[in-house]
Amino acid sequence: MAKISINVNGQEHQLDVDERTPLIYVLRNDLGLKGTKLGCGLEQCGACKVLVDGKAEFSCNTPVSVFENRTVTTIEGIGTPDKLHPIQQAFVKEKAAQCGYCIPGIIMAIKALLDVNPEPDRETVCEALSDNLCRCGTHPQILKAAMRAAKEMCK
Amino acid sequence: MTLSSSFDINPELDSWLRFHSDGQITVFTGKVELGQKLITAFSVIAAEELDVDPGRITVKTADTMYSPDEGYTAGSNSMESSGLALRQASAKARQELLRMAADKLGEPLKSLSVTDGEISSTSSGKSVTFWELMGGRRFNIIISDEVLPKTPDQYRLIGNKVPDIGFEGLVTGTTSFVHDLELPGMLHVRVIRPPGYHAQLKELNEVDVRKMAGVIEVVRDGRFLAVVCKREEQAVWAAKRIAMQAVWDESQVINTENIYVQLKKNTRQSLPVIGGAAEYSAVPPFNPPENSDKTISATFQRPYQMHGSIGPSAAMALYDDQGLKVWTHSQGVHPLCLALADVLELEKDRIHVVHMPGAGCYGHNGADDAAMDAALAARSVPGKPVLLKWERVDEHSWEPYGSAMQVELKANLDEKGKVLYWNHETYSDTHLNRPSAHGENSRLLAAWHLQYPKSAPQVKPIPGPHTGIHRNADPIYDFVERRVIKHLVRDLPLRVSTLRSLGAYANVFAIESFIDELAHACCRNALEFRMDHLSDDRARAVLEAAVTKAKTGPDSKEEGHGRGFAVARYKNAKCYAAVVIDLFVDDFGAIQLERAVIAADAGQVIDPEGLRSQLEGGLLQSASWTLKEEVLFDESGIVSQDWESYPIMTFSEIPEVETILIDRPDCPPLGAGEATQGPTAAAISNAVFDAVGLRIRRIPFTPERVRDAATKA
């Protein structure tokens, strides 16, 4: 097995894993970053989204080797319970989670959007979340949280 | 106040509450958190009655070793059973603590007051805390009937903005789902299901698979196959290899005849529903009055639909000389324990089942089956914890769906538009197929696939009020005469069980669409027509509130736009909900929801935001079912295997949603997580009629169905 080196949340990691391993298993099982959720393994639901060089990408199906020389950010990399990112704060304020399984992937997609478009309208947020699924029907609260976060971050 | 039924089998105060010396309090419930914010509501209830800060309370959910047995977390019952039990247990504990403080401080009971767990005397200023009195000790008392909880005027937390319990964990990804568990030496498991329900394993060459990197064990028992590996991706790959190498006999196929034909022609057992309750008695004859002015009938259809959890079903299991320990997101750890004991032939005392959060399940999904699968895999590697996850295809193809249903309605009206006779017949498979103790039989998927398989027990029509098929079949209107029949249909093709709101979704869809049709047939306003037949003031109030609120928004009379509404009271006994939908139907028949208004009365409001998100979530999920969802299958198996072949609602498809809560502080709090499912479907159907003049009576309302209806109109 070749050594794979990846940069996750600002840290370099050298790993002895099969290079075909989808990134999500490396994040969750080798690096202990369980915030990234496995939903479908088919790049259809968005629960597994992480930032790759700032863009929201699926991590459930793409081999870890593809991420060499790129920077990966997971939900753990943007905030912690003691030090929430403004997007996470907005989600707490709007109580935008029921079961919460889809939420980390959705927050990462919103982060990628707000980083390039700090003042999106509702439609643009919906577009950015077009491949994120939520089954609890928390969409209204999630959209409110996204708009709130945009407002807070523009201050 | 009547004691909660949960005390019948769990009467000890200590089984509900424990005070620790560090100022923390643990409260126990036999219910589980499913994203419905039960933990928030229960923390607030206990904190309110005890007069402590909610931050001191930890709610411990179902665990067969520690928690009271309260069966399943289902049917919108938790607030009334477990919530009431916690309220009464907390009130009892406070009362006992005050008595103990009076003794210790030598002060009269009357002079004592409680602030955040500190009991102080207003006369002497002496004080003692709950934790000083109790710290680690037990009450050792039985809860009898002398419990006096607070009255609404004494509340300081309930109904106000409540704390954000658990949100930090969810938004930072630090909340531990069962999928996230990790124990030293843990192995990973994937299952390999047959290609279809009836496929039999003919041949499997395990040699190649066993040579693959990381493969520890291939579990093969009859046609149950699983692979245990060191790493998760290795299990995924090995399972794929096994799926490719296994040779199956697929000669027995699924009956693909039109499901609505099967619902009518298969063997069935029929029960009359009287006052909402099914009875084992003769079905009364259809006997409409002869003098009616109008006779109208219509048939409504709902296909098989799935729970569609975003997270795949998962479980962890450990088999060792202590017995079996299982971590699961099942809705009923105690019944699951009994079901596992039957299949594994283990004493139930040797099985410890612990609830862990999973992705939202909305009923009986694959959670229990995954626990069974994990137990079978763990048995092949004693002493090693195994974490099992289903793949997406397993979830979509094997979960027990919500049954396809057909509802046939007939009404006779007089010349003034008064309904004289109402006939309602619902045809459906069962909605109650959860695993429990079934002896020789089992409702767990893997049990049917073992070398010595257990078969599914035959279900009987369940009598009683609003149990499954006939949930909400009895209309809330004051019709002079009504005949309501439930038909439990046998030998239907797909596996089914409990899906959020059970039969209520199709029954309310039918009733509330049909009443709109009746109003239209009588050239009457649909709101007035309903009101003329509705004397329940709380139902009238939610309907009035929703329709009035909707009028404050833009009321587009442009072509293709329409508004519809519907009302129901879940199980005719729980939350009242009225829904108004504004939508647009385009030239291709695609329906876009624009705005939704909910008005709900769930009795006393405990956690307004939690309640609102349950109602709105229910509405959006129901809208997704109604517009988009149908499980497709062919002879060899389920065709709806992923989110492309079974699409659900996306962000760009959801309407603006507004919710009005009618608080009734003097009424008991009512479960609300299933209240909007039925009304939403009917409100959409009525809005489509308002928009384009077409009655769509078959769910889902896809563009093809709308175009079809237009062609036939």
Nearest residue of A to residue B356 by CA position? Answer: A99
**Was domain B178-251+308-398 assigned CATH 2.20.28.90?**
no
Whether A137 and B621 lie within 8 Å, measured CB to CB: yes
> Residue A1 — pLDDT band, cuts 50, 70, 90?
low
CATH of domain B405-432+467-712: 3.30.365.10
**CA–CA distances in Å: residue B162 to residues A106, B54, B601, B611, B614:** 25, 9, 19, 12, 15
Whether A123 and B609 lie within 8 Å, measured CB to CB: no
Q: How far is B299 from chain A (nearest CA, A)?
A: 29
Q: Residue B336: what residue type? A: L
The tens digit of pLDDT for each residue in A72-101 reads 999 999 999 999 999 999 999 999 999 999
Nearest residue of B to residue A64 by CA position? Answer: B233
Contacts of B656 in chain A (CB under 8 A): 140
Contacts of B577 in chain A (CB under 8 A): none
Nearest residue of A to residue B170 by CA position? Answer: A100
- What does the pLDDT read at residue B308? 98
Whether B173 and A76 lie within 8 Å, measured CB to CB: yes
Indicate which of B307, B310, B355 best probes the interface with A, i.e. most A CBs within 10 Å of its own CB: B310
The answer on pLDDT for A155 being more than 90 is no
Pick from B582, B611, B278: nearest CA to B430: B278
Please report the beta strands in B222-350, taking only residues with DSSP state E, as ranges in sequence order. 224-229, 247-249, 268-274, 277-278, 294-302, 314-320, 323-328
The rounded Cα B386 to chain-centroid distance in angstroms is 28
Structure-token match 């955040």, residue found:
B116
| Domain map (residue ranges) of chain B | 5-172, 178-251+308-398, 405-432+467-712
Identity of the residue in B169, B360, B650 whose CB atom sits nearest the CB atom of A101: B360
Between these two residues, A151 and B145, which has the higher pLDDT value?
Answer: A151
- Could you state, in chain order, the average pLDDT of each consecutive group of 10 residues for chain B (713 residues)? 85 93 92 82 92 92 86 79 90 94 94 94 92 90 85 84 81 96 97 97 96 98 98 98 97 97 98 97 95 96 98 98 96 96 96 96 97 98 98 98 98 96 98 94 98 95 95 96 98 98 98 98 97 98 98 81 98 97 98 98 92 96 98 96 98 97 93 96 98 97 96 89
Give kind and range of the element (H or E) at residue B233: helix B232-245
Identity of the residue in A35, A135, A138 whose CB atom sits nearest the CB atom of B648: A135
Whole-number Å distance between alpha carbons of B426 and B14? 45
DSSP B180: G
- Average pLDDT rounded to a whole number, residues A114-128: 98
- What does the pLDDT read at residue A113? 98
Q: Residue B148: what residue type? A: L
Contacts of B657 in chain A (CB under 8 A): 140
Structure-token match 């237009």, residue found:
B710
- What does the pLDDT read at residue B571? 97
The answer on pLDDT for A19 being more than 90 is yes
Asked if residues B120 and B127 have their Cβ atoms less than 8 Å apart, the reply is yes
What separation, in Å, do the N-terminal and C-terminal C-alpha atoms of chain B show? 57
Share of chain A above pLDDT 70, in %: 99
- What does the pLDDT read at residue B65? 87
**Was domain B5-172 assigned CATH 2.40.40.20?**
no
Whether B652 and A35 lie within 8 Å, measured CB to CB: no
Contacts of A32 in chain B (CB under 8 A): 182
Contacts of B644 in chain A (CB under 8 A): 44
Nearest residue of A to residue B34 by CA position? Answer: A99
- What does the pLDDT read at residue B556? 67
Whether A92 and B358 lie within 8 Å, measured CB to CB: no
CATH of domain A3-75: 3.10.20.30
**Was domain A86-154 assigned CATH 1.10.150.120?**
yes
Whether A137 and B175 lie within 8 Å, measured CB to CB: no
Q: Is A60 helix (H, G, I), strand (E, B) or coil?
A: coil
Nearest residue of A to residue B658 by CA position? Answer: A140
| Phi, psi angle pair for B427, to nearest 5° | -110, 125
